[in-house]
Amino acid sequence: MKCPFCGKENTRVIDSRPAEDNSAIRRRRQCDKCGKRFTTYEKVEVIPLIVIKKDRNREPFDRDKVAAGVYGACHKRPIPAEKINKLIDDIETIVFNREEKEIESSEIGNIVMDKLNELDQVAYVRFASVYREFKDVNTFIDELKKILDKK
């Protein structure tokens, strides 16, 4: 990091600490040449994630939408809120850690289903029934059978 006073490049970090809201790291640096001190901030680069919807329109990823779907599926199930929030966090992490910065909404749906399947079978079926838009009772029963066969 170049010294803002003398322009020399030999500066060193003498102190690092999180900024007030933990969204950045504040570093105190000192120039080896002129001895002056200055501050730098290191922040996470936020790259927006774009969701490709069924109609091919795009919109920014919205955690609240995923959360609403998950909460709806878990309604009145004996699942601690803490676990539900952890699941939503996990989904968000998976989605943001992909290489691509665009994701099909169907892929998000599959990730949510995978996670719900591990958490609670009823919540899983509820989500799947809304998400896959079961056309009739038979598709719904097929899906249930798949779940039961796994046991």
**Residue 34 Cβ vs Zn ion, minimum distance, rounded to whole Å:** 3
Residue 27 or 33: the one with the smaller Cβ distance to Zn ion is: 33
Among 26, 27, 33, 132, binds Zn ion (CB under 5 A): 33
Exposed/middle/buried for residue 40 (C-beta within 10 Å: 0-12, 13-18, 19+): middle
Among 1, 6, 19, 130, binds Zn ion (CB under 5 A): 6
Among 34, 50, 68, 141, binds Zn ion (CB under 5 A): 34
Q: Is 95 in the site for Zn ion (CB under 5 A)?
A: no
Residue 10 or 106: the one with the smaller Cβ distance to Zn ion is: 10
Q: Is 116 in the site for Zn ion (CB under 5 A)?
A: no
Task: Write out the residues near Zn ion by the rule CB under 5 A.
Answer: 3, 5-6, 31, 33-34
